[in-house]
Chain A
Amino acid sequence: MKYELTCINCPMGCRITADYDGKEVTNIQGYTCARGKAYAQTEITDPTRMVTALVGVEGRRAPLSVKTRSPIRKPLIFDALDVIRKTTVCAPVKIGDVVIENLLGSGVDVIATENVD
């Protein structure tokens, strides 16, 4: 299958094309540095994203901001958001507190990114 992507490493934004048969990325073209080639490789075979989101806090309208401690696999994003949306926490919360353990079995925790007294 043919892939077309934009490298995100610098403002050049190189348009990279490559082929992927489910096993191996071949024919990577359009990159202008090593970072671009590496980006294409991972972005095609195993794209990941940090997810930042909001959870409810008991007894107040303002939500609590949270993030995945590390990037999760891209196809998991919307399922992850569903789980996060249904979560509420009780104050007090500190930055780094675990809000959801092992999100969807990904091995990645969701942690608080702000303090609530």
Chain B
Amino acid sequence: MRNTDILIIGGGPAGLAAAVGAYEAGARDILILEREERLGGILKQCIHNGFGLHTFKEELTGPEYAQRFIDKVEAYQIPYQCETMVLDVSPEKVVTCVSRKNGLEHIQAKAVILCMGCRERPRGSLATPGERCPGVYTAGTAQKFTNLEGMMPGKEVVILGSGDIGLIMARRMTFLGAKVHACVELMPFSSGLKRNIVQCLDDFGIPLLLSHTVVDIHGREHLEGVTVAEVGPDLKPIPGTEQYFPCDTLLLSVGLIPENELSEMAGVEIAPSTSGAVVDESLQTSVAGIFSCGNVLHVHDLVDFVSEEATKAGANAWQYVQGSLPESGRKVPVQMGFGVGGIVPQFVSDKAEGNVSFMFRPRNVYRGARVIVELDGTQILSKKTMILAPGEMVNLSIPAEKLQPLADAQAITVRIEVPEA
């Protein structure tokens, strides 16, 4: 059986930064396993710009951002194996993978970093009635067709969901000569960035239909059209508001799900609020020596924060291999109070050092609210915000010494306080 100190599953933005982070912390025996033909993950197909403003202080396209990290991996001579599919991860950190080149392999790692990213919610999860005809794609699949394969899925397009990938694809399809008839959003607000709504929809006169959804899909041999209806406050379609849009392509941008099948095989505990691993502040999962970062841990808005998180996971994995990661003592749970969803980490070790960062998603749109962190009811942070929205992850960094005394603490609570009307 092969051995390695740190095995990284996935060669996308998280895997690349984890490898760089581990190397720069001192690790030399690292291996990245990637199932696609080349490194870069989803960034390969994100050819629009806007990546890297935090990390590189300039706006890069996805491929350029990925290349910055690939260049480092190459310069450090970190080994990677593409076209290699991981089939199993055991709690003992034996990773089973398969490739045309090496066949079936078992690799014993001292630490594993889970960097598998996320996948798009498919049509099947929406329970939208209608024909099961070709012409319905997730936005990311269509993006792969246009940007990597040089193929157009269709010419007359409706987009369901106003997540950023859907918005970006509205512009891309328009640029490639298609007509985008509407972007249909169930909620009364879009989860996409304002910039994308303006520059991907408004610029081309594409209507954004808030509080609307697709209620029927028509076409036998191929998609011919969709029926769109307005929804009420209960998110149920309002009878009589139906309108028919002829189209040959329906793109879905209705959410992302962390891809945790391998994590579960390894016995890693999954948090319902993020659909990602339960981790402590070092990004270590419930299985010692297995770390998780990037979109497999929780879906991020910005790749810069993925890189930052993964760099930390890489460095901590190396500390673990050396036996110098502070032995996690008692773990203090992090509770989600009013308005807070998908918090990471879910636990803070009473031995936490340095800065502890908390990330979460607001459950709704809140104006002029405060974000409050409490330790057993005592306020340790209160931060005023202009606006909080589900589409923008909140990132708080608190010095560990402010979180003291943790030794006897029962809980850390993060909550939102809305000003009284």
Contacts and interface: CB of A to CB of B under 8 A. Distances in A.
Contacts of A67: 47, 49, 61
A62 B64 CA distance: 17
Contacts of B52: none
Contact of A62 (B149, B197, B202): B149
B330 interface: no
Interface string A1-32: 00001111011110000000000000000001
B215 to A, nearest CB: 28
A49 interface: yes
Contacts of B392: 11
Contacts of B53: none
Contacts of B323: none
Interface stretch (B83-91, B261-269, B383-391): B383-391
A65 interface: yes
B61 A10 contact: no
A61 interface: yes
A65 B198 contact: no
A52 B387 contact: no
A65 B194 CA distance: 24
Contacts of A5: 198
A108 interface: no
Interface string A67-88: 1000000100000010000000
B208 to A, nearest CB: 11
Interface string B256-290: 00000000000000000000000000000000000
Contacts of A12: 194, 386-387
* Interface footprint category on B: 20 to 34
B198 A8 contact: yes
A56 B64 CA distance: 18
Contacts of A10: 194, 386-387
Contacts of B48: 52
B148 A62 contact: yes
A7 B197 CA distance: 10
A74 B198 CA distance: 13
B147 interface: yes
A56 B150 CA distance: 8
Given A6-B198, A10-B386, A52 B49 contact: yes
A54 interface: yes
A88 B149 CA distance: 15
A114 B197 CA distance: 26
B337 interface: no
A10 B199 CA distance: 14
Contact of A52 (B61, B198, B202): B61
Interface in A81-103: 81, 95
Contacts of A44: none
Interface residues of A, number: 26
Contacts of A62: 148-150
Given A11-B389, A95-B64, A113-B64, A49 B199 contact: yes
Nearest to A12: B387
A53 B175 contact: yes
Contact of B194 (A13, A32, A53): A13
Given A11-B389, A54-B150, A115 B61 contact: no
Interface in B42-75: 44, 47-49, 59-61, 63-64, 67
B195 interface: yes
A52 B392 CA distance: 24
B203 interface: yes
Contacts of B63: 65, 95, 113-114
B317 to A, nearest CB: 29
Nearest to A6: B198
A49 B199 CA distance: 8
B175 A63 contact: no
A63 B147 contact: yes
A104 interface: no
A34 B156 CA distance: 40
Contact of A8 (B64, B195, B387): B195
B199 A65 contact: no
A98 B182 CA distance: 35
Interface in B345-364: none
A5 B187 CA distance: 22
B149 A6 contact: no
B149 A113 contact: no
13 contacts: A6-B197, A6-B202, A7-B194, A8-B193, A10-B386, A11-B194, A12-B387, A50-B59, A52-B47, A52-B48, A54-B147, A67-B61, A114-B63
Closest 10 CB pairs of A and B: A65-B47, A114-B63, A8-B195, A13-B194, A113-B61, A63-B150, A52-B48, A12-B387, A8-B194, A8-B198
Given A8-B199, A65-B47, A74-B203, 5 more contacts: A12-B386, A52-B61, A62-B148, A67-B47, A114-B44
